[in-house]
Structure 1
Amino acid sequence: MSHLHRDIRPAILDFKADWPALVEICGLRTWAHNLHPCPCCTVGKGELLQVGTQSLRSSPHALFTASSYESLVAQTFREVIVPDDDTHRKLHSLLRYSKNGRGRCLKASFPLLGLRKGNRLEPSASLLDVDKFMQLTTPFSCTFYTGGPHGRILHQSPFLKIPGVTLDCWCIDVLHTWHFGPLSSYIAHSLRLLISSSVYRPADQDLDKEEADKLALLHIRAELWSFYKRRREADEDGTWRKKGTEVWNLTLIMLAGKYLKAKAAETHGLLNFVVDRLGKHSEILASASQAASFDLLLRAGMAAMDFDAVLAAHPRAIDSEACGLLFDKYNRFICLSARAEVPLMPKCHMMYHMIQRAVHKGNPRMYSTYIDESLNGDIARVCRSVHRRGWALAVYRKLSMLEQLAAED
């Protein structure tokens, strides 16, 4: 539209990205950092996995908002004027590339311009490539990063310089945060416990652990296929046929880690199955050695299903009451999961921020990245189909054809 009408400039209201993409685009720290693991608040790594400490309207840690970002940028990046050639040469002689410094840094302090050892030369409007520092003509201005090794911001983000675009515009999507987060950990942990229970484990004592696990998994897999069959038969409105994704295989490798190694839709579809199995065998599991864990997992799974039901029952605009219900259901789920010793990941913390932002952003289900992830598959297939000699142009040409076909449909 802006190409046809040059007087029209589209505005960016919100943007979608998963957590790693956000910190890459905005120049922030990852969740592995000890001091600044969260892009939304000031929590430390030691408190990142604490659950049950937040509410819908408040958090024990200060939020990192757009104003916080702008203030920190002003403190972290310093613009200096190099007045003459002599200062230019002296400053250049102190610049060294440093892996720990993430770029071209000063090996010693430079008091003339108020710069300290370790300050990093940053790209700017007057210096797009820091390697061409000596090619500039004095006097000129350049920018140095002064945040130190533990600064919250690593680089200035060109994306956040777009008028109106701030960190508050980030829509935390439900796919990466919920389906690939605590829900995935819950399902993997629950299935591992079911495999080790007397319900599925063969009674033959001569079998070693690996063989017993394989036989138990075969039992669970057979029940899973039957569960899918019942869902298809009871699918009167076509919801399962349109949106349900079935796991085509279930292996021990998929359950070996902290989270389930499956697609997001497959993970989401397994929730009902896990809760159904825990409920069906609740009497037998009550006499098991891990009876308390099974009971906690059952109640946590029911809370997760209630959470999904609230998401599905509301349109994009949801009121504070619905958000409060979402928060209560998730908080119950994650607290019960923690008591059941489900491995917690940083996304458990991000889920709180997703629900808190839903008061203003709306239903997280409406800005999930399912379609975007499917486009990644299309791009991957296009990339595999072209020769490396003309790879870039061929990929661009085929993607243009794909976009044109989609527009015609």
Structure 2
Amino acid sequence: MARLEPSTLLQDVGSFEQKQCPFRCIFYVAGEHGRVLHMSPLLQIPGVSLNTWGIDILHTWHYGPMSTYLTFTLRALLNTEIYKPGNSAVLDKEENDKLCLMALKAELWMFYKHRRATDKEWSKKGSEVWNLTLTMLAEKALKCKAAETHGLLRFVVMTLEKYKEVLQGSEKSQMFDLLLRAGCAAEAFDQTMNEHDRVFPEEACDALFSHYHRFIQLCSRTGVPFLPKGHLMYHLVSQAREKGNPRMFSTYVDESYNGAIAKVSRSVHRRNWAMAVYRKLQMLEALNCSADD
């Protein structure tokens, strides 16, 4: 896909057909997995490049390859004999899927219950999925909170290990083996970030790249859909040498602040929108400070 870009060489793209040859112009050609249909004007500012951008691990990892992997694996597990009811032969596909999902959710709730009882850190900070539907699993990526993907990843890996012998006898035994290895690589990726503070040593950067590259390669071999965010993760990992631990510059804290900004923005007029937003946010900040005192 190509797009004719306005430039100093051709300011009006509408006059392209009327220009006399030869003349020079600029076409933007997107990459194989590219979705951007035009060049970013931010990257045309002198001194601004991709190295000046802070890639956020929340949206790039948890809402990217991680969510895609979880959806694909949970959907694959539902299609096995593990969660099928005994009277599946007399039920239609929709009822079978509902019963399979109920069995999987029951196992997930038991996993959360055991985790709360044995892990004090999880009982304080752990985030649990409150619901899981067939509609959620029908999407390409699982729509849940980023913190909830940590628990789901551990559950998926434990489930694949628990039913490893059963899955080895299925037609897709190789796929489930690759999914298990990919899940272990994803856990090792998260563990590498959790073991270090902001300063990230060189061996940790190498381990981070190795774990993620292993994860994405195993996912591609099993047929997990590849998103553009999967490529962006390589840039995030490479920036760790200069910017430090990616876990330290994520937007987890900013997400709640974005909700407050959205509410304020809806309550002001567009004529004085900018100043009104700043004024109301200043009032909100003052109220928060007084509440802390």
**TM-score grouping bracket, smaller chain normalisation:** 0.7 to 0.9
For these two proteins, the number of residue pairs brought into alignment is 282
* Distance of 2:174 and 2:29 partners within structure 1: 42
For the structure 1 residues 322 and 158, does the alpha-carbon distance in structure 2 shift closer, same or farther, using more than 3 Å as the test?
closer
* Distance of 1:159 and 1:377 partners within structure 2: 31
> Could you say which structure has the larger radius of gyration?
1
Is the CA contact 1:200–1:219 (under 8 Å) kept in the aligned structure 2? yes
* Distance of 1:159 and 1:231 partners within structure 2: 50
Q: Sequence identity of aligned pairs in percent?
A: 48
Counterpart of 2:8, as a letter, is R
Deviations 1:286-333 (A, max 9, x none): 212221111111111111101100010011111221111111111111
* Distance of 2:265 and 2:138 partners within structure 1: 31
Deviations 1:68-93 (A, max 9, x none): xxxxxxxx94389xxxxxxxxxxxxx
Asked if residue 180 in structure 1 is aligned to residue 63 in structure 2, the reply is yes
The alpha-carbon deviation at position 170 of structure 1 amounts to: 1.2
Q: 1:197 aligns with which of 73, 77, 80?
A: 80
* Distance of 1:155 and 1:358 partners within structure 2: 24
Is the CA contact 1:188–1:255 (under 8 Å) kept in the aligned structure 2? yes
Partner of 1:68: none
Helix, strand or coil: the match of 1:171?
coil
Is the CA contact 1:316–1:363 (under 8 Å) kept in the aligned structure 2? yes
Helix, strand or coil: the match of 1:197?
coil
Asked if residue 212 in structure 1 is aligned to residue 142 in structure 2, the reply is no
Partner of 2:50: 167
For the structure 1 residues 399 and 338, does the alpha-carbon distance in structure 2 shift closer, same or farther, using more than 3 Å as the test?
same
Counterpart of 1:211, as a letter, is E
Tell me, which stretches of 5 or more residues in structure 2 are unaligned? 31-36
* Distance of 1:192 and 1:34 partners within structure 2: 36
Partner of 2:257: 375
* Distance of 2:232 and 2:134 partners within structure 1: 28
The alpha-carbon deviation at position 249 of structure 1 amounts to: 0.7
Q: 1:233 aligns with which of 117, 130, 136?
A: 117
Helix, strand or coil: the match of 1:148?
strand
Partner of 1:147: 26
Partner of 2:146: 264
Partner of 1:78: 8
For the structure 1 residues 147 and 197, does the alpha-carbon distance in structure 2 shift closer, same or farther, using more than 3 Å as the test?
same
* Distance of 1:150 and 1:296 partners within structure 2: 35
The alpha-carbon deviation at position 34 of structure 1 amounts to: 7.0
For the structure 1 residues 268 and 239, does the alpha-carbon distance in structure 2 shift closer, same or farther, using more than 3 Å as the test?
closer
* Distance of 2:149 and 2:104 partners within structure 1: 15
In the superposition, the TM-score normalised over structure 1's length comes to: 0.61
Whichever structure has more helix as a proportion of its residues is 2
Helix, strand or coil: the match of 1:306?
helix
Partner of 2:18: 108
Partner of 1:282: 164
The alpha-carbon deviation at position 401 of structure 1 amounts to: 1.7
The alpha-carbon deviation at position 185 of structure 1 amounts to: 0.8
The alpha-carbon deviation at position 148 of structure 1 amounts to: 3.1
The alpha-carbon deviation at position 397 of structure 1 amounts to: 4.0
Tell me, which stretches of 5 or more residues in structure 1 are unaligned? 1-32, 36-75, 81-94, 117-145
For the structure 1 residues 246 and 292, does the alpha-carbon distance in structure 2 shift closer, same or farther, using more than 3 Å as the test?
same
Deviations 1:260-280 (A, max 9, x none): 122222223311111111111
* Distance of 2:179 and 2:28 partners within structure 1: 42
Matches within 5 A, 1:4-19: none
Counterpart of 1:195, as a letter, is L
Is the CA contact 1:300–1:337 (under 8 Å) kept in the aligned structure 2? yes
Asked if residue 324 in structure 1 is aligned to residue 206 in structure 2, the reply is yes
Is the CA contact 1:323–1:358 (under 8 Å) kept in the aligned structure 2? yes
Deviations 1:310-367 (A, max 9, x none): 0100111112211111111111111111122111111111112211121112111111
The alpha-carbon deviation at position 106 of structure 1 amounts to: 5.8
Is the CA contact 1:147–1:153 (under 8 Å) kept in the aligned structure 2? no
Counterpart of 1:109, as a letter, is K
Is the CA contact 1:192–1:255 (under 8 Å) kept in the aligned structure 2? yes
The alpha-carbon deviation at position 372 of structure 1 amounts to: 2.1
Matches within 5 A, 1:52-131: 77-78=7-8, 101=13, 108-109=18-19
Quote the RMSD (CA, aligned, Å).
Answer: 3.1
* Distance of 1:225 and 1:257 partners within structure 2: 22
Is the CA contact 1:201–1:216 (under 8 Å) kept in the aligned structure 2? yes
In the superposition, the TM-score normalised over structure 2's length comes to: 0.84
Is the CA contact 2:84–2:99 (under 8 Å) kept in the aligned structure 1? yes
